[in-house]
Structure 1
Amino acid sequence: MASSVKNDTHGIPNLACYEATFDVTNNIWMSDNILENRAPLLAIQIAYNVIISRILHSLLRPLHIPLFVVQILTGFTLSGSFLGRYPVIFRSLYRENGILAVENYANMGIMYCVFLNGLEMNCDTLLRSSKKALIIAIAGIVTPMLLGACFLSLLHMCVNVKEPPSRGGVFSQAYLFWCLVASVTGFPVLARLLSELKILYTRLGKDALNAAILIDAYGWILLTLIIPFSTAGGNHLLSLFSTLLFIGFCFCVLRPILIPMIERRTRMEKWTNSKLLDVMAGVFICSYITDFLGTHHSVGAFVYGLILPTGKFADLMMVLLYDFATGIMAAVYFSGFGFRVNIELFLRDIHWPYLVLIIFLLASSKVLSSMIASFFFGMPIRDGLGIGLLLNTKGYMAVLLLNIAWNRTLVSPFTYTVSLIAVLTMTMLVSPLISVIYKPKFRFMQSQLRTVQKLRFGAEFRVVVCVHNSRQATGMIHVLEATNPSRMQPLHVSVLHLVELTRHGTALLVAQMENPTAAAATAAENHYGSQLEFDGIAKEFEHFINMYGAARFETAAVVSTYETIHEDIYNVTEEKRACLILLPFHKELTSDGSLEATIDAANSINENVLHQPPCSIGIFLNRGLCSLSQTNMRIVMVFIGGPDDREALSIAWRMAGHPGTHLNVVRLLVIGETASEQEESFHSDANGLLSTVMDNVMQKELDEEYIINFRHKGVHNNESIVYTEKEAEIATGEEIPMILNEIDKPGYDLYIVGQGSGKNYPSFSKLFAWCDNPELGVIGDIVASTSFGTHSSLLVVQQYMVGKKQRKPPRSCCHARKKKDADSIL
């Protein structure tokens, strides 16, 4: 006889027995023909769960619903409240003689998921957790556990629910499981959610993730302790002691043996898919041992994943197993939870408003505890509310606890249903509520004028520097060195190492590190690639800071897909209240003097950042810019007019304060018919090349006012600054390269130009359509061109303005326009 899940007369999921036929002549399986009777049914069940879960996941993607929740909803479609009420449909997918096969397959799926969960966690991170994260985690554990027991008692009084009677202690175990489900937080699920919501690198995301990993670790510890005592019969203390002894053996003996072997093979790049699969044998061995000792098999799988090294090896394992484990095998496991739910029973109960209130109060316990804990650290109420909501995100641990309580009849079917609905409700509502309550951009609306031009004297110059490698970091340092940091004008640099999210795992623990230099470098190696690359970036900036006592920096890795990484850059910029973002140009200088693209996605990243940034932007093209400690820097700034040129002049003016810098400001005065057409073209800005709320007259007044201020305070007080004006009649745009060639004759180390230089002139607009690099603007594209012949580096500046958006025509449109013009000429 074997058990299966059926519905009683009231629709309540319950246990039932079915007959299984055993064939004594079958010496291998001692049952019926598995390949003929059970394998096809299992294949249909797997296909149904995978296909429906993928469809639902695509439909619910805008709400950022976790995959395991979608898989539970997939199982709900076959429950007695939906398709399960039709016997023909139900029996075509689920029959009693296939329950054992699907349960075995599902349990293997959860073993893989739990193993990957342990592989993603880092034990060192737990030991380095801050005091604030520890207090928030303790509050998020204790409060739900205390209030959870009260809510379960309230549930029993309101609806007269009776837990399964019989053996002693089962009632207290039901309370313990209920409270543990209410208090745990799914760390991997929360990390992915924070990444999708683009708040991972905000203070809210870091605090929530710090607390979540501690709560998740607490859940696994408590699960290991209570499982032996939830089993009927046997020596509970012996089972617990044996399990703890085995875990100690894994960490103290097995881990020191495995880590050097695996890391050596990883460094030598000798891993293949077949050899990685050999490592999976340990999952089954550890799972069998913990199950034999009286603990759940998932404990062994989790511990095995925890003792294996992170970093590149973890990346390889995640790439090999993640999609198959979570998308195919786990789909069958989690669908079983939804299969047992009967929502009609929940709604038909006359006390259902009380049940909704209980679920609400259960979720509010974490919110209340987080708000109280965050208050003592001086955090805003909104942050405390956001952390509490995020910590309500449930994961594998919560449903695993419910499954254990169900299988061991520790909770009634009705309590199980209410608990699962609470888990789903709390997890599904996190993303919409966070999107409404916590909007990072709204927190910084009071600081609109975040530009270098408006930076008052003596204020800290806060810059966010984005780099992909240490070579780019060297060039950025020379630019920062030229900005002349001093005691009167200190410099604060936030260095972001942009790393592509190349696998499905989280590996986002870098956000937890309180030591932004050394700890972040370790995190970058542990999770996403070369420590040498990250460590080289950190050492370059550390050497720069040692030279200038008035400068300080912090380094972090921003891990995201290249399509959305600009949103993380925005959030870090707002968090740091920076007034300038420095981006590397997507092409780098090669040994033969040409420019080649080294990172294909760098161009699209820059264009995305330029679209609607929270502050001013600078794109730097490095052609061998040297340090001021080695040579005097000669800078030329070409000024035509507009907010971008004023911002570029502000940066050049700041650089001119360094005693080793010589600045030449050349103002081009456009005369003739082109100048008379400027006002009309400015108002008919159909291509969106320059979007601003000011009219042309106001722009000219602002240009004149700033130039007069610059000449009065800058040129007259600094002999290293030279200001000249050059009149130019630009009719077709072909005159611009000739003018720039004349300016370039003395030779310069660095060009500084505005991204929008001359865009309000028709001739400049025509040239813009022919630019190979539209993000550099007309002047910047000419200087960056190899045909121009200069060896100078280039800094292109775009000023931040409220409501300003850069809407550039797609590159395909530019080439299409070029092709059309060429065809017309032919």
Structure 2
Amino acid sequence: MTDQVYALSSVSILLTTVFMPVLVKYLYHPSRKYAGYQKRNIMHCRRNEELRVLACIHMPDDIAAITKLLEVSCPSSERPLAIYVLHLIELIGRDSPIFISHQMQKKIVSKNSSYSENIILAFNHFKQHNPGVVLVNIFTTISLPKFMHEDICMLGLDKLTYLIILPFHRKWSIDSLVDSEDSTIRTLNCSMLELAPCSVGILVDRGHLGRSMVSSNSSYYVAMIFLGGNDDREALSFAKRMANDSNITLTVVHFVASGSDVDSCWDKFLDNEILKDVKLNNVGDEYVIYLEEVVKDGPQTALIVRSLVDEFDLIIVGRRHNVDSPQTSGLAEWIEFPELGIMGDLIASSNINKKTSVLVVQQQQIDS
């Protein structure tokens, strides 16, 4: 090989090594595999259609909170529920990734096998208490944290789910103090918000949601904070399913910007349409409380929300990421967890020492 040929080969290899990864990263988008997976959200789930939910479990504490959330969604013969439970286990050492369907009666070879057995028992118990209206399928995946979002997305894609429920990365103790945080789970949640093939809900359990049970002698109070937009409409669609149990009180709090024109745009028209049956109290079998609060800016909204926290066991909000509105003006600069949106972050803030849990909903990102 001549010096000229050797030099040319070396330069070619160097250029290929430097520029090809950049080119591949620019041209390849993992979310494109879901391009044909359109309109998989709660709003497009027909009234008598089975709502398919994918619930992710990281640790035993997640089991009670998620089963409680599914319980208060009031599955019935008119609104059946299909639950696909995915137990996520971190791959350690040189083991190979494993995906297990417990319907295939395969044994888990892992130190976390008892966790999966508890999950199976808990969700089968939930199914037995809702005979004929709840379908449960349980899976376990053992993989590297950076690939877990792929397992979740592919299972959601395969099962045609409408909603994926993810536990929040921060855990609280019974006395409402921060108990632990897991940055790996937070990274996974952020990836899911960006790539999920359907709507996503991040469940922030303040250590109380899974411990409060609806019974014939107890009441459960749920609030839905509505500001407007796709995510809020999706969150309200899920909240409406809870208006079918006499033990559950659903309150919809609509924050309206002072001086705003309700007919100014298409989004406002859609907001009014989804709120119409709430205002008329024609949502479900039970009474729904509708409150309208006129606010001028974000601080006034925050003041009202903080006063509401004590009154509810669960608050449902839309994520509304990067959505500017007069109702939240001035609050974005104080946000701690952008994945929760402004309202979700406000309620889940460590400055609020309350037991109220939060469900933050993001509607399926059609343009992904």
Task: Give the TM-score, by structure 2 length.
Answer: 0.84
Indicate how the Cα distance of structure 1 residues 487 and 547 shifts in structure 2: closer, same or farther if over 3 A, else same.
same
Residue matched to 2:9 = none
Cα offset for 1:784?
A: 0.6
SS in 1 for 2:265: helix
2:62 pairs, out of 447, 467, 472, with 472
Cα offset for 1:629?
A: 3.2
- Preserved contact between residue 177 and residue 353 of structure 2 (Cα < 8 Å): no
SS in 2 for 1:786: coil
Taking the aligned partners of 1:561 and 1:752, their CA distance within structure 2 comes to 31
* Superimposed CA distance per residue, residues 181-224 of structure 1 (whole angstroms, 9 cap, x where no aligned partner): xxxxxxxxxxxxxxxxxxxxxxxxxxxxxxxxxxxxxxxxxxxx
Residue matched to 2:215 = 629
Q: Supply the AA of the counterpart residue of 1:627.
A: M
Residue matched to 1:184 = none
Are residue 529 (structure 1) and residue 111 (structure 2) matched? yes
Taking the aligned partners of 1:758 and 1:567, their CA distance within structure 2 comes to 25
Residue matched to 1:200 = none
1:734 pairs, out of 299, 308, 312, with 299
Cα offset for 1:440?
A: 5.6
Taking the aligned partners of 1:584 and 1:554, their CA distance within structure 2 comes to 19
Are residue 705 (structure 1) and residue 273 (structure 2) matched? yes
- Preserved contact between residue 458 and residue 489 of structure 1 (Cα < 8 Å): yes
Cα offset for 1:591?
A: 4.1
SS in 2 for 1:699: helix
Are residue 538 (structure 1) and residue 125 (structure 2) matched? no
Residue matched to 1:490 = 80
- Preserved contact between residue 780 and residue 794 of structure 1 (Cα < 8 Å): yes
Indicate how the Cα distance of structure 1 residues 552 and 644 shifts in structure 2: closer, same or farther if over 3 A, else same.
same
Cα offset for 1:503?
A: 2.4
Q: Supply the AA of the counterpart residue of 2:123.
A: F
Residue matched to 1:664 = 251
Indicate how the Cα distance of structure 1 residues 720 and 707 shifts in structure 2: closer, same or farther if over 3 A, else same.
same
Give matches, 1:355-754, under 5 Å. Answer: 441=34, 445=36, 448-508=38-98, 510-511=99-100, 513=101, 515-516=103-104, 519-520=105-106, 522-523=107-108, 526=109, 528-549=110-131, 550-623=133-206, 624-625=208-209, 626-629=212-215, 631-672=218-259, 675=260, 697-712=265-280, 714=282, 718-730=285-297, 733-744=298-309, 747-754=311-318
Q: Supply the AA of the counterpart residue of 2:287.
A: S
Cα offset for 1:507?
A: 4.8
Residue matched to 1:73 = none
- Preserved contact between residue 317 and residue 359 of structure 2 (Cα < 8 Å): yes
Taking the aligned partners of 2:67 and 2:324, their CA distance within structure 1 comes to 33
Residue matched to 2:349 = 785
Taking the aligned partners of 1:539 and 1:580, their CA distance within structure 2 comes to 23
Indicate how the Cα distance of structure 1 residues 712 and 758 shifts in structure 2: closer, same or farther if over 3 A, else same.
farther
Q: Supply the AA of the counterpart residue of 1:699.
A: D
SS in 2 for 1:494: strand
SS in 2 for 1:655: coil
- Preserved contact between residue 309 and residue 356 of structure 2 (Cα < 8 Å): no
Taking the aligned partners of 1:459 and 1:647, their CA distance within structure 2 comes to 16
Indicate how the Cα distance of structure 1 residues 612 and 440 shifts in structure 2: closer, same or farther if over 3 A, else same.
closer
* Superimposed CA distance per residue, residues 521-548 of structure 1 (whole angstroms, 9 cap, x where no aligned partner): x22xx1x432111111111111111111
Give matches, 1:140-159, under 5 Å. Answer: none
Cα offset for 1:765?
A: 5.8
- Preserved contact between residue 464 and residue 581 of structure 1 (Cα < 8 Å): yes
Gaps of 5+ in 2: 1-12, 22-27
Cα offset for 1:649?
A: 0.8
Cα offset for 1:599?
A: 2.7
Q: Supply the AA of the counterpart residue of 1:629.
A: S
Indicate how the Cα distance of structure 1 residues 554 and 440 shifts in structure 2: closer, same or farther if over 3 A, else same.
farther
Cα offset for 1:719?
A: 4.6
- Preserved contact between residue 621 and residue 793 of structure 1 (Cα < 8 Å): yes
Residue matched to 2:338 = 774
Taking the aligned partners of 1:777 and 1:612, their CA distance within structure 2 comes to 17
Cα offset for 1:469?
A: 1.3
Indicate how the Cα distance of structure 1 residues 660 and 450 shifts in structure 2: closer, same or farther if over 3 A, else same.
same
* Superimposed CA distance per residue, residues 779-825 of structure 1 (whole angstroms, 9 cap, x where no aligned partner): 11111113224321111111114105xxxxxxxxxxxxxxxxxxxxx
1:761 pairs, out of 319, 325, 345, with 325
Larger Rg: 1
Q: Supply the AA of the counterpart residue of 2:74.
A: N
* Superimposed CA distance per residue, residues 221-272 of structure 1 (whole angstroms, 9 cap, x where no aligned partner): xxxxxxxxxxxxxxxxxxxxxxxxxxxxxxxxxxxxxxxxxxxxxxxxxxxx
Taking the aligned partners of 2:102 and 2:147, their CA distance within structure 1 comes to 25
Taking the aligned partners of 2:309 and 2:115, their CA distance within structure 1 comes to 36
Indicate how the Cα distance of structure 1 residues 502 and 466 shifts in structure 2: closer, same or farther if over 3 A, else same.
same
Taking the aligned partners of 1:763 and 1:649, their CA distance within structure 2 comes to 18
- Preserved contact between residue 469 and residue 537 of structure 1 (Cα < 8 Å): no
SS in 2 for 1:724: strand
- Preserved contact between residue 243 and residue 249 of structure 2 (Cα < 8 Å): yes
Taking the aligned partners of 2:300 and 2:354, their CA distance within structure 1 comes to 17
- Preserved contact between residue 671 and residue 729 of structure 1 (Cα < 8 Å): yes
Taking the aligned partners of 1:751 and 1:465, their CA distance within structure 2 comes to 19
Task: Give the TM-score, by structure 1 length.
Answer: 0.39
Root-mean-square deviation (CA, aligned residues, Å) is 2.9
Taking the aligned partners of 1:763 and 1:648, their CA distance within structure 2 comes to 18
- Preserved contact between residue 645 and residue 753 of structure 1 (Cα < 8 Å): yes
Taking the aligned partners of 1:619 and 1:800, their CA distance within structure 2 comes to 13
- Preserved contact between residue 227 and residue 327 of structure 2 (Cα < 8 Å): no
SS in 2 for 1:652: helix
Residue matched to 2:8 = none
* Superimposed CA distance per residue, residues 748-768 of structure 1 (whole angstroms, 9 cap, x where no aligned partner): 111011111893226736422
Indicate how the Cα distance of structure 1 residues 618 and 605 shifts in structure 2: closer, same or farther if over 3 A, else same.
same
Taking the aligned partners of 2:271 and 2:78, their CA distance within structure 1 comes to 27
- Preserved contact between residue 641 and residue 757 of structure 1 (Cα < 8 Å): no
- Preserved contact between residue 638 and residue 666 of structure 1 (Cα < 8 Å): yes
SS in 2 for 1:453: helix
Cα offset for 1:555?
A: 1.1
Cα offset for 1:769?
A: 3.4
Taking the aligned partners of 2:365 and 2:33, their CA distance within structure 1 comes to 18
Taking the aligned partners of 2:70 and 2:120, their CA distance within structure 1 comes to 15
Taking the aligned partners of 2:353 and 2:321, their CA distance within structure 1 comes to 21
- Preserved contact between residue 481 and residue 627 of structure 1 (Cα < 8 Å): no
Taking the aligned partners of 2:353 and 2:55, their CA distance within structure 1 comes to 28
Taking the aligned partners of 2:335 and 2:97, their CA distance within structure 1 comes to 39
Bigger relative contact order, structure 1 or 2, given CA contacts below 8 A and separation 6+?
2
Greater shift after overlay, 533-542 or 767-776? 767-776
- Total equivalences in the alignment: 340
Cα offset for 1:566?
A: 0.9
Cα offset for 1:598?
A: 3.9
